Chain A
């Protein structure tokens, strides 16, 4: 039995890895002409507790497995927690965030990130959270799969199909929709932040995730739209002004990239494993790709291993 994983985003590569980890035969099929995977534009935050602000308990509970999974599979998982701050006049947002989440401590932000000293009087710290660079992590998963003899190709799948094509699977998953997200990558030599920082704001929230070489990912909008197209001026203005509120050094940053992706999402915004008409689907990652893809992949691999163990 061979498993044909369709797609090249975080869901696909996690599934291929989880299947391969179980000693199963895997090939990865990259459909020709497919859009860039939404995961390329991800923040790479492994932040189940922060996500609990709006995500259901299931994401918080299951997402906690993500840090260890990634650390076991790729280099570069940074375990420095998440810092959450708000501008002084939006202090109520911080109180609300604290009420809606767990596993955090009240801190003086400048104690953790010296660059924020004097800018924010208080913040929330989520010490067990982590982050990674999504593109490096995906490249690393791919390299490991190649090293184990997994083939990457286009063309017809040879085995049981595990469809992880993201929004392209709308042709068979009718309740899948796109939620547009826009982000920037900047080079900011005047700013030093060592962990993801979320800036709460009732209208223009943003997060800043450090990458290597003084680069920062600034994200991300959430628009109920499947319009592909480039980043809008409004999104860029909102994100940049939010980043500037976090640290004025971002005003001098060089914009390296503006990116927009469509998050494949189910109506409850919860990623899911489905088995329909002889195919398996892992989809609906919404904004939880790097957090939940490992969880879904392990679930899928366990389910498939079980089915085919009985079949033999």
Chain B
């Protein structure tokens, strides 16, 4: 599904802001996630102890470039991540705006070009813009990660129609909704639309009971996917009784 790696779970979990590494491990376990993201920018090489605990989860690590504001910073962080984690996977995040943490699409495409050329397998955090998506594919990305809403906002899918269009346009490309998911119902909605996976962090990390919330998300995402595969009924404007109105038995 992602760069030749097939997974059972369609949930990816971020690892920041948990009450403790122990609680984080419980949440990962409860969620069933097989991919966890991990940051490097602020922690640096000296964050090894925390990363060693993460490796106990046996999840595949997806290092990210969170906290980078320029293509150059992101490229440098990605190279460092490859050294530290021994993986060519990188979740590419280049922040363009301080308040919304919206991705900077220009720097994103630029950094994606450099990294793909260096053999990285890039997971770009982008918007639902189709042209930016095309440029990212052209740069060599084989996954797109459109936002649901601004990072940590819990607003859910701000632009579901845009994501629907994106799904239709990039039919063979794995699409992961990254950021903005606050509730399991929102995650299920994205899965019902046929998006491939969800990446979230705050909604679980800041829940009063992170492990229980992680489990709830895992189930909602599975339910949403099953519903998509089962084929959802179309919306109709008028009532349509499931029992026929003609041919009723005459009992008298």
Contact = CB atoms under 8 A, between A and B. Distances in A.
Interface of A: 54-56, 96, 99-100, 176-178, 180, 202-203, 223-227, 234, 265, 267-270
Contacts of B46: 178, 180, 225-227
A225 B43 contact: yes
Interface string B40-58: 0011101111100100000
Nearest to B42: A223
A268 B208 contact: no
Dominant secondary structure of chain B at its interface with chain A: helix
A12 to B, nearest CB: 22
A99 B20 CA distance: 19
Contact of B50 (A96, A99, A100, A177): A177
Contact of A55 (B19, B43, B206): B19
Interface string B157-188: 00000000000000000000000000000000
B19 A56 contact: yes
15 contacts: A99-B208, A100-B208, A176-B49, A180-B46, A223-B47, A225-B42, A225-B43, A225-B47, A226-B48, A227-B44, A234-B42, A267-B21, A267-B25, A268-B22, A268-B23
Dominant secondary structure of chain A at its interface with chain B: loop
- How many B residues touch the partner, as a band? 10 to 19
Contacts, number: 51
Ranked nearest first, the 8 interchain pairs of A and B with the lowest CB-CB distance are A177-B49, A269-B20, A227-B46, A268-B22, A224-B50, A54-B19, A225-B43, A225-B47
B20 A267 contact: yes
A265 B47 CA distance: 13
Interface of B: 19-23, 25, 42-44, 46-50, 53, 152, 202, 206, 208
Nearest to A99: B208
Contacts of A265: 20
A96 to B, nearest CB: 7
A272 to B, nearest CB: 12
